[in-house]
């Protein structure tokens, strides 16, 4: 009984204290300083929960479909936002492409900066016609049975659309991206006759290039051989290579500039067979050109720099 009465008294005291406190805060705290201080303290209690709930709301709002009615202005804004988003992606792609082009341009400028020092320039030319062929005896005649052309004969010469007026001279090399096509046999005023590397009349100094597994790169053998057309329109024969030189099918045969006056190490063909030569002191190497003769269309004449092409 006494305890209950004491508790009741305590409760009334607390209630009175709360009322006085609330009235004091309401009436005396005119500047709001106490309220601000209390709010700062209360933030420590409620802010973590508010942050969690804010993150949860954002996650829900991002996933949930928007059920609110959409006005025309909101539609326009949404379309504009999508358009901006796509435009940003497009601009990013174009910026990346421009950066690539700038890198390519710098690389090209470096190459062009080095080209003036290079003694050879590349002169593009077109194969004039497929109708100029050669017989086994090396005569050039127009195609047709009436001109003596028969099956089994091979093309040994071609004509190109560049001549002396373009700076082409006899003996210059004619190439494609696959390798050497031949040499200019006769440069006329506006066209030139090209002797193909498969012609028996075409003789070139060449070297063997083989894959060195130890060093992990292609290595040119120091020995220089003589490359001659086999006369069958399909292959070339390389001779005068000593038998102690390591040659195997799959090796490449490249030009040797000191012999023909053209660029060094240009691919002539690939070794397909290696046989002992006469007397066994040298190799007799069969070389297959990498150039596809049936697909020849555009070729390049390597001319000395300084002769202006028209």
Partner 1 sequence: MRWFVFIILGWCCTVLQTMLFVPRLLALRPFHADLRPDLFVLMALLVALVARGEEAFIAGWVIGMVADLTDPGSQRLGAMALMLALCSYAICRMRPVLVYERPATQIVLAAAMVLAVRPVQLMIVSWHSSAASVGFGLLVEQTLGDALYTAVLAWPFLWVTARLATHRGRLTERS
Q: How far is the CB of 77 from partner 1 (least distance, A)?
A: 15
Task: Specify the residue, 8 or 94, whose C-beta has the smaller distance to partner 1.
Answer: 8
Q: Is position 9 an interface residue for partner 1 (rule: CB under 8 A)?
A: no
* Contact between 18 and partner 1 per CB under 8 A: yes
**Where on the phi/psi map is residue 79: left (φ > 0), alpha (ψ -120 to 50), or beta?**
alpha
The answer to the question of residue 24 lying near partner 1 (CB under 8 A) is yes
Closest to partner 1 by CB, 19 vs 82, is: 19
User: Which of the stretches 9-17, 141-149, 184-192, 248-256 binds partner 1 when contact is defined by CB under 8 A?
Assistant: 9-17
Member of 42, 92, 96, 142 binding partner 1 (CB under 8 A): 42
For the bound state, the minimum distance from the C-beta of residue 69 to partner 1, rounded and expressed in Å, comes to 13
Residue 203, judged by CB atoms within 10 A of its CB (0-12, 13-18, 19+), counts as middle
Which one of 1, 3, 45, 73 is in contact with partner 1 (CB under 8 A)?
A: 45
Exactly one of 1, 3, 9, 39 binds partner 1 (CB under 8 A); which one? Answer: 39
Name the residue nearer to partner 1 (CB basis): 24 or 129: 24
Q: Token pair 């060449």 is at which residue?
A: 206
List 1, 3, 5, 26, residue binding partner 1 (CB under 8 A) = 26
Near partner 1 by CB under 8 A: residue from 6, 9, 57, 234? 57
Which residues contribute to the site for partner 1 (CB under 8 A)? 8, 11-12, 14-15, 18-19, 21-26, 29, 32, 34-35, 38-39, 42, 45-46, 49-50, 53-54, 57
């Amino acid at each position: 009984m006494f305890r209950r009465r004491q508790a009741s008294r305590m409760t009334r005291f607390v209630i009175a204290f709360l009322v006085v406190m609330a009235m004091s805060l309401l009436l005396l705290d005119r500047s709001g300083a106490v309220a601000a201080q209390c709010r700062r303290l209360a933030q420590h209690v409620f802010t973590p929960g508010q942050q969690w709930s804010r993150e949860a709301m954002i996650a829900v709002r991002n996933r949930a479909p928007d059920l609110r009615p959409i006005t025309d202005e909101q539609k326009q804004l949404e379309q504009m936002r999508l358009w901006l988003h796509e435009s940003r992606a497009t601009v990013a792609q174009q910026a990346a492409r421009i950066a690539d082009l700038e890198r390519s341009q710098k690389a090209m400028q470096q190459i062009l900066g080095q080209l003036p020092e290079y003694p050879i320039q590349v002169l593009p030319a077109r194969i004039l016609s497929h109708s100029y062929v050669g017989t086994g005896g090396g005569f050039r005649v127009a195609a047709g049975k009436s001109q003596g052309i028969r099956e089994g004969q091979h093309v040994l010469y071609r004509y190109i659309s560049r001549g002396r007026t373009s700076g082409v001279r006899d003996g210059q090399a004619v190439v494609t991206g696959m390798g050497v096509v031949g040499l200019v046999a006769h440069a006329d005023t506006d066209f030139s006759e090209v002797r193909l590397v498969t012609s028996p009349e075409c003789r070139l100094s060449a070297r063997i290039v083989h894959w060195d597994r130890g060093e992990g790169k292609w290595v040119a053998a120091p020995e220089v051989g003589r490359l001659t057309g086999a006369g069958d329109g399909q292959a070339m024969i390389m001779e005068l290579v000593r038998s102690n030189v390591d040659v195997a099918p799959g090796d490449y045969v490249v030009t040797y500039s000191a012999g023909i006056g053209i660029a060094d190490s240009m691919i002539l063909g690939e070794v397909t067979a290696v046989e002992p030569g006469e007397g066994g002191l040298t190799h007799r190497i069969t070389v297959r050109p990498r150039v596809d003769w049936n697909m020849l269309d555009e070729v390049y004449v390597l001319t000395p720099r300084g002769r202006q092409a028209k």
